[in-house]
Homo-oligomer: A and B are copies of this chain.
Amino acid sequence: MTDSSQRLAELRSGIDELDAQLIDILAKRSALTSKVGEIKAETGMPVYVPEREVALIDKLRAQAIQAGISPDLAEDLMRRIMRDSYHTQNNRYQGVNPKTGNVVVIGGRGALGRVFVSLFERSDYDVDVIEKDDWQSGHAERVLANAALVVVAVPITLTETVISQLTALPEECVLADITSIKSKPLKAMLAAHSGPVVGLHPMFGPDAPGMIKQVVVVCHGRAPDAYQWLIEQMRIWGATIHESSAEEHDQAMAYIQVMRHFNTFVYGAHLKGENPDLDTLTVFSSPIYRLELAMVGRLFAQAPELYADIIFNNPDNVALLRRFHERFGVALDILERGDKKAFIKQFLEIGGWFGDYAKMCLVDSKQLLLKADDGQMLRK
């Protein structure tokens, strides 16, 4: 063994020793945060307290600087550790109103329905689930007759049909839905049920391991006092509540979801049509392009019906997309003329419209792209 390879071996065994200590600290920390979780569940304290998180991170950054290591490193590590402790160590939550009576989740075995069922159960509510077959067997009718809260969590195409059947709920029962559009379901709920009604849109997919740090949009329907407890319950689960009218919500969704999904769909169709070699493309891609390609690819690993429902749901979408198509044509004409000046002028005008947000996007996405690099993600 040469001198330098011996020194290297010694250094590496020292590093391995420190890594083992790191695992040990993580295990001990996890045991302590579990206990914190238990106390919070008993006393009904919120799981996610933004101020406590900020204070903890600030303190850690200061310690890192003092120890001569990167404060960004310390912060990134701590945020990752916190995610874990939020999601794996909160098996129970305080129930705000567990004695209210039965919570019925229609579609409670579906991807997002299951998240709600689990959250209610872990907060001491009695939960019933209604699935397709339960309507004929009489099970649905039985549990609905006792319901204190009914949550409609069925696919978007079925939402209105299912709601139209909920005409015999107890007068005091709260009726809610979690569809990603809000105007139509809210109207349908108000028509079917004369008691309290509220439209919810949890702004996260079933991938999310819970409701912590997630936004839930609340569109009030009728008798908000009767479902105030439900909103409180979601806050305890860690959600940020954003109140909105159903119309404002649906309009924002058209920009956000429909534009992106449709454009991504066409981009996929374009790639298939041009038929480049995907291996070559990913080899030639830097992290940002791999990420963008992955955003296209991921769409097609999912159920087409879901996206068809979102895109075809609203006839206004066609007009919005037509305007995008026209703008694409105008930009193409600029390109075909070779008019760089016009391109740059428009570019700067758009930048002005984005304002400071553009810079923020650049900074934030830079951090995220570095993280994508860590794991050598998104390479084929």
Contacts and interface: CB of A to CB of B under 8 A. Distances in A.
A217 B331 contact: no
A135 interface: no
A349 to B, nearest CB: 7
A164 interface: no
Interface in A331-380: 331-332, 335-336, 338, 340, 343-344, 346-351, 353-355, 357-362, 364-378, 380
B346 A284 contact: no
Q: How large is the interface on A (under 10, 10 to 19, 20 to 34, 35 or more residues)?
A: 35 or more
5 contacts: A22-B25, A272-B353, A311-B343, A324-B328, A364-B378
Contact of A260 (B42, B56, B207, B289): B289
Given A73-B84, A256-B281, A19 B78 contact: yes
A318 interface: yes
A115 interface: no
A276 B354 CA distance: 11
A335 B361 contact: no
Interface in A39-96: 39, 42-43, 56, 59-60, 63-64, 67-70, 73-74, 76-84, 88
A270 B324 CA distance: 6
Interface string A116-150: 00000000000000000000000000000000000
